[in-house]
Amino acid sequence: MTLLLAGCDGPLSTLAPAGPAAGDIALLWWGMLIGSAAITLLVGVLLALSFGPPRVRPVRYWTHGWGLGFSLAVLTTVLVAGLWIGERILPRDDGAVEVRAHAYQWGWRFAQPNAEGETVQTDGVLYIPAGRPVDVIVTAEDVIHAFWVPQLAGKVDAIPGRRNLLRIEADRPGTHDGLCAEFCGLGHATMRFELVAYGVDAPPDALADAPAAEEYADD
């Protein structure tokens, strides 16, 4: 088990969250795993009981009490938690930093504010301030892609002609891996990017030298 779980740690692991949204999603994942394990265990116990001698308890005790009662309680808990978490991690109108992730076959072009507040463009690396909510406007050039930084948040599709919004936040400065999460052609497998979360008082030099961001057709 320890060996198996060791495989869950890595730069693209959702089970090694480094931000509030990813933390909520990981928590939900654990709840679903434990809940489904409990239901599977129950089914195993019921199956084993069916081979044994006749029971004292009426059949309804198992079918209604445990089969329906217990399973529905677990499923309802997970469903409510999922709805609550899904609502919690949505972007809201609170003046969060806005950045842009533009997907194309096969790479990523980003736009983000530099220290002076000007929007500058980078290729393959997205820079965000750590410890602050950031809204990513996700767009696409050609076909459908998807923006995903597993350690920070869920994923969202990048669709030509549409602007999708995803809220991300990194707890502390550091580098995280991101990828395209929607098959988009031959170069899909290598459509990776890097996300650098920097200390608010230390904007990276790369941003100072970056060119101004270009306009997009759907702006």
Residue closer to Cu ion (CB basis): 107 or 173? 107
Among 184, 195, 196, 197, binds Cu ion (CB under 5 A): 184
Q: In whole angstroms, what is the distance from residue 213 CA to residue 137 CA?
A: 14
List Cβ neighbours of 37 (8 Å cut-off, separation of 6 or more): none
Minimum distance of Cu ion from residue 179's CB (angstroms): 8
Among 85, 97, 141, 188, binds Cu ion (CB under 5 A): 188
Minimum distance of Cu ion from residue 67's CB (angstroms): 42
Residue closer to Cu ion (CB basis): 109 or 114? 109
Minimum distance of Cu ion from residue 176's CB (angstroms): 18
The three-state secondary structure class of 173 is coil
Residue closer to Cu ion (CB basis): 20 or 178? 178
The verdict on 120 binding Cu ion (CB under 5 A) reads no
The per-residue b/e assignment along 134-166, b for 16 or more CB within 10 angstroms, e otherwise, is: bbbbbbbeebebbbbbbbbbbbbbbbeeeebeb
List Cβ neighbours of 201 (8 Å cut-off, separation of 6 or more): none
Minimum distance of Cu ion from residue 219's CB (angstroms): 23
Residue closer to Cu ion (CB basis): 24 or 182? 182
Beta bridge partners of 111: 100, 121
Footprint of Cu ion on 164-183 (CB under 5 A) = 180
Footprint of Cu ion on 123-162 (CB under 5 A) = 145
Instruction: Provide the binding-site residues for Cu ion, judged by CB under 5 A.
Output: 145, 180, 184, 188, 191
